Amino acid sequence: MLKNYLKTAYRNLLKTKVFSLLNIFGLAFGITACVLILHYVNFEKSYDRFHKDGERIYRLRYDRFDSEGGAVRFASCCPPAAPLIREGYPEVEKIGRMLHVQAGVSTLLDGREIKFLEERIFFAEPDVFDILKFHFIEGDPLIELAEPNKAFVSSSVARKYFGSQDPIGKVLSIDKKTDYRIVGLFEDVPSNSHLKFDILIPWKNLENQYGPQYYEEWGHTGSYTYLRVKPQTDIAAFENKLDDLVTSQCPWLKEYKMTIDLVMQPLYDIHLTSHYLQEYEVNGNRDNVNFLFIIAFFIILMAWVNYINLSTSRAITRAQETGLRKVIGASRAQLIIQFFLETVLINFFAILCTMLLIKLLTPLFSQISGIPLTVGMWSRAWFWEAIAGFFLAGVFLSGLYPVLVLSSFKPSRVLKGRPGISQRGINLRKVLVIFQFVISLALLSGTLTVYKQLSFMRRQDPGFSMDQTLVIKAPRVRDELFSEKMVTFKETLLNNPNIAEFCTVTEVPGRQIYWDNGAIRRAGEDISKGKNYMIVGVDYDFIDVLDIEMVCGRNFSKQYSTDPKALMLNETGVKWMGFDSPESALNQQVDYWGEIYTIIGVVKDYHQQSPKQAFEPQIFRLMPEGRDIRGHFVAVLNAQNIKESVQQINRQYEQFFPGNPFDYFFLDDYFNQQYKFDELFGRIFSLFAGLAIIITALGIFGLASFSAVQRTKEIGIRKVLGADVKRILLLLIQDFVFLLALAGLFVLPVLIFGINRWLESFAKRMDLDAFIFVVPMIIVLCVTLFTVSYQTIKSATANPVDSIRYE
């Protein structure tokens, strides 16, 4: 029996090759899109899930509010909180701190110096690794990190510095200031950890760097604090206790009319929801993840709807066989089994295709989505569950309706040549097609919106110039001759005809400024008026080198010996400080932590971050030598010989600042990488919009051929009465245009709502215009016309005699 069914099914698939391929590929594309999205969603949701007891682990954050309720929210915390919590709060099992630094790291290997700039170094307390369970290969961090001058490195770092040699016992010098002996080795931190580090050094060494008062400073954020609470701890009650702790420890807050909140942030929430100041890395976005998940759902739904459409429209041709089988004794149950078997077969082939597609697409998708290839899908349980799920759901959801329709045909009618296709079935198919139109239109409009907004942002004048601008990390290893060296270094570079301009600055545009100071106010104002500002340390040339415009006043100048006590604000800063206009701010005095500065100029707002972010209040301070942390050199190159210029600068740099690794980037690349996530979103969106269009076209093809078959006789009669192909084409296309118009009406309000919602996250928004709604309509219309015409012309040019004789 089974053999007979399979044989029929198989031969049927072969007989209607086009239909079978449409079916199989439609399903395969849908499932592939879905699995890829699931892969992405799963990866995003897998962040930090590998830690044991993760639901009891929290990161302690820090919020500061000024007297007017203005909030500054940090991902990090202040150093003195952790030891007090460790002592006085039994509900906390463990608590530990980490501080992220970048540094030049060097070592001697066989008499040769090896040095790199390391961007992922952490000072860490041992308890951190009791809380967060990373995989250590050698050495016990709980013991070793309790003592100073020891270091743990990752396997990759060990390989980078020491090749195949055993790293244990080797010495790393950090910024040529402190030597650390390597006592342990850990596996590279998984890519789905919100915290990523390459080198761990003891928290105790921090004291050497910042002095003991660092540990007592409640206003100083920057270190991350993790803690694990006992089971069943009431988090809200615990946070209230922390409020009391802050009040008792910081009596000065009253004077400033400020408050500090210590906030418990669940570990699992960090990656998808945390977007505060001083995040270790830019975190993901839960909205985007959920949104993609919904898209995945609709895509698979479309694929199934398609399958239903194609199979029921094919049912006409299958009706005769069905009726016949009934006549020769098939029961309904037997027919249902047979048709289900065909569905199983098609879904099976679709799954095979899916696997192949996924195999082929994985490298590309890894590139697009940024998920490392090492995070494979094939070995994951969810992957096989999803595949099995799609298969079973596909068989039942997409098979059920066609099977019921086919098996319910009345044999007597079928044999008379009138298959029982009811009007209800046709209406259902129309609804399904409208559904597909709606999804296609929505995805197309969405894609256009994302791209238009992106290009809108890129067209914005950033307010500074970034052409041929090379940025070099300023040397961290500095000796007492640094000031003189800086001057000569600059002169040497400017003497080089390849280098046009040079300056030094603490932060170049391209990311949020890391240096912020609170409690800054106009001189004479009450202490409670103090607010938070982003601080940029600049030299005399920064404004000119980056072509930043001044609104009024003047730039720092060597002609004024008073300038070290002067500062500049940006326009947003002027408003933030409460001045009515930039002009009125000039020559006013600012109380910056007890020192009085004079405002000498106002800088036009430029985009420190991508235009997605709002302008932030900035204070520019004069620092002709830059800073050793977060310092940058900026060199504008002449157009020719870029590569050679970089090499020349490299040589000079090494000569002037030995022991410092030469680490550089181009400003435009650096700035543009802020668009990475939105571009990724745009690419993913367009990929799936493309898939949706294909699936819709398949669906329309199915319905068009169905209605062409259905109306064969009508077309024949009309032709006999003298209608030409053109008129018949028009007749059939009308239906689809009507459905498309209906879909357009449905989708418009949803789109306007959705697009506005999405645009809310951008500070600078494009204007909505008809373009993003009309173009998708035209595209879908063209696809529809093309598909329908193909089918219709085929039946319209057929000999009418054949079709009329049919009855």
Partner 1 sequence: MIRLKDVEKYYSNKFVKTWVLRNIDMEVKEGDFVTIMGPSGAGKSTLLHILGMLDDMSGGEYYFLDEPVHQLNERKRTGFHQQYIGFVFQAYHLIDELTVYENLETPLLYKKVKTSERKSLIAETLDRFNIVAKKDLFPNQLSGGQQQLVAVARALIINPKLILADEPTGNLNSKQGLEIMDMLKALNDEGTTIIQVTHDEKKAAYGDRIIHLLDGYIDKIDERN
Residue (4 or 495) nearer to partner 1, CB: 4
Of 332-361, binders to partner 1 (CB under 8 A) are: 332, 334
Report whether 543 contacts 618 (CB < 8 A).
no
Q: Least CB distance from residue 394 to partner 1, whole Å?
A: 23
Q: Least CB distance from residue 712 to partner 1, whole Å?
A: 18
- Binding partner 1 by CB under 8 A: which of 204, 325, 604, 713? 325
- Cβ contacts of 194 within 8 Å, gap of 6 or more: 47, 48, 270, 271, 274, 280, 281, 283
- What is the residue whose two structure tokens read 């002095």? 211
Q: Least CB distance from residue 776 to partner 1, whole Å?
A: 41
Cβ burial of 80 (10 Å; 0-12, 13-18, 19+) is middle
Residue (334 or 465) nearer to partner 1, CB: 334
Report whether 599 contacts 588 (CB < 8 A).
yes
Residue 490 identity: K
Residue (17 or 558) nearer to partner 1, CB: 17
Q: Least CB distance from residue 313 to partner 1, whole Å?
A: 19
- Binding partner 1 by CB under 8 A: which of 320, 498, 613, 673? 320
- Cβ contacts of 8 within 8 Å, gap of 6 or more: 321, 338, 342
Report whether 474 contacts 632 (CB < 8 A).
yes
Contact between 1 and partner 1 per CB under 8 A: yes
- Binding partner 1 by CB under 8 A: which of 69, 169, 231, 329? 329
Residue (412 or 797) nearer to partner 1, CB: 412
Stretch that binds partner 1, among 320-328, 370-378, 561-569, 655-663 (CB under 8 A): 320-328
Burial track 16-29 (b if 16+ CB lie within 10 A, e otherwise): beebbebbbbbbbb
Contact between 327 and partner 1 per CB under 8 A: yes
Q: Least CB distance from residue 409 to partner 1, whole Å?
A: 11
Residues found in the chain: 807
Residue 786 identity: F
336: tokens are: 């249902």
- Binding partner 1 by CB under 8 A: which of 176, 326, 452, 630? 326
Q: Least CB distance from residue 761 to partner 1, whole Å?
A: 56
Per-residue contact flags (x/-) with partner 1 for residues 160 to 199, judged by CB under 8 A: ----------------------------------------
Residue (413 or 565) nearer to partner 1, CB: 413
Q: Least CB distance from residue 702 to partner 1, whole Å?
A: 21
Stretch that binds partner 1, among 58-66, 330-338, 422-430, 499-507 (CB under 8 A): 330-338
Stretch that binds partner 1, among 2-10, 218-226, 439-447, 605-613 (CB under 8 A): 2-10
Per-residue contact flags (x/-) with partner 1 for residues 7 to 36, judged by CB under 8 A: xx--xx--x---------------------
What does the alpha-carbon distance between residue 25 and residue 741 come to, in Å, rounded to a whole number?
28
What does the alpha-carbon distance between residue 750 and residue 755 come to, in Å, rounded to a whole number?
9
Q: Least CB distance from residue 22 to partner 1, whole Å?
A: 19
Ramachandran angles phi, psi of 477, nearest 5°: -85, 115
Contact between 331 and partner 1 per CB under 8 A: yes
Residue (15 or 727) nearer to partner 1, CB: 15
Of 363-422, binders to partner 1 (CB under 8 A) are: 410-412, 415-416
Report whether 515 contacts 507 (CB < 8 A).
yes
Helix 286-327 with 332-369: angle, nearest 10 deg:
150
Number of residues forming the site for partner 1 (CB under 8 A)? 24
Q: Least CB distance from residue 769 to partner 1, whole Å?
A: 50
Q: Say how many C-beta atoms besides its own lie within 10 A of residue 273's C-beta.
A: 15
Residue (16 or 648) nearer to partner 1, CB: 16
Taking the alpha carbons at both ends of the chain, their separation in whole angstroms is: 34
Residue (359 or 416) nearer to partner 1, CB: 416
Strands (E), 474-547: 499-505, 516-522, 531-538
Q: Residue 113's beta-bridge partner residues?
A: 108
Residue (320 or 572) nearer to partner 1, CB: 320
Residue (334 or 789) nearer to partner 1, CB: 334
Contact between 598 and partner 1 per CB under 8 A: no
Q: Least CB distance from residue 413 to partner 1, whole Å?
A: 8
H/E element, 49: none
Contact between 722 and partner 1 per CB under 8 A: no
- Cβ contacts of 516 within 8 Å, gap of 6 or more: 72, 277, 532, 533, 534, 535
Largest Cα separation within the chain, whole Å, is 108
Residue (10 or 384) nearer to partner 1, CB: 10
What does the alpha-carbon distance between residue 696 and residue 440 come to, in Å, rounded to a whole number?
7
3-state SS of 261-325 is EEEEEEHHHHHHHCCCECCCCCCCCHHHHHHHHHHHHHHHHHHHHHHHHHHHHHHHHHHHHHHHH
Residue (412 or 460) nearer to partner 1, CB: 412
Count Cα atoms within 13 angstroms, Cβ side, for 190: 17
Residue (414 or 649) nearer to partner 1, CB: 414
Burial track 721-745 (b if 16+ CB lie within 10 A, e otherwise): eebeeeebbebbbebbeebbebbbe
Query: What residues line the site for partner 1 (CB under 8 A)?
Result: 1, 4, 7-8, 11-12, 15, 320-321, 324-332, 334, 410-412, 415-416
